[in-house]
């Protein structure tokens, strides 16, 4: 029975600095998730530009090779 009382009073035990610590940790976690999402979008855009640049370079090389053969 004592064990149930501990779990029943868990919200009563979380007071003051413990509540503040939990709030700060949740805030840090949310900030980290937001920042990783931002970084992921930046990497996606950069890789897309690199892929387009690479495709343009291949296209240019193929066009130069076909034009020089005529």
Residue 37 has pLDDT above 80, yes or no: yes
Residue-wise pLDDT tens digits, 3-27:
566 566 666 666 777 888 889 999 9
Q: pLDDT at position 40, please?
A: 97
pTM (predicted TM-score): 0.59
DSSP string, 4-52: HHHHHTHHHH--THHHHHHHHHHHHHHHHHHHHHHHHHHHHHHHHHHHH
């Amino acid at each position: 029975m004592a064990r149930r009382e501990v779990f029943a009073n868990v919200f009563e035990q979380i007071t003051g600095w413990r509540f503040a610590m939990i709030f700060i940790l949740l805030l840090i976690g949310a900030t980290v998730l937001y920042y990783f999402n931002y970084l992921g979008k930046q990497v996606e855009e950069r890789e897309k530009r690199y892929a387009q640049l690479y495709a343009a370079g291949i296209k240019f090389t193929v066009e130069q090779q076909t034009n020089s053969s005529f």
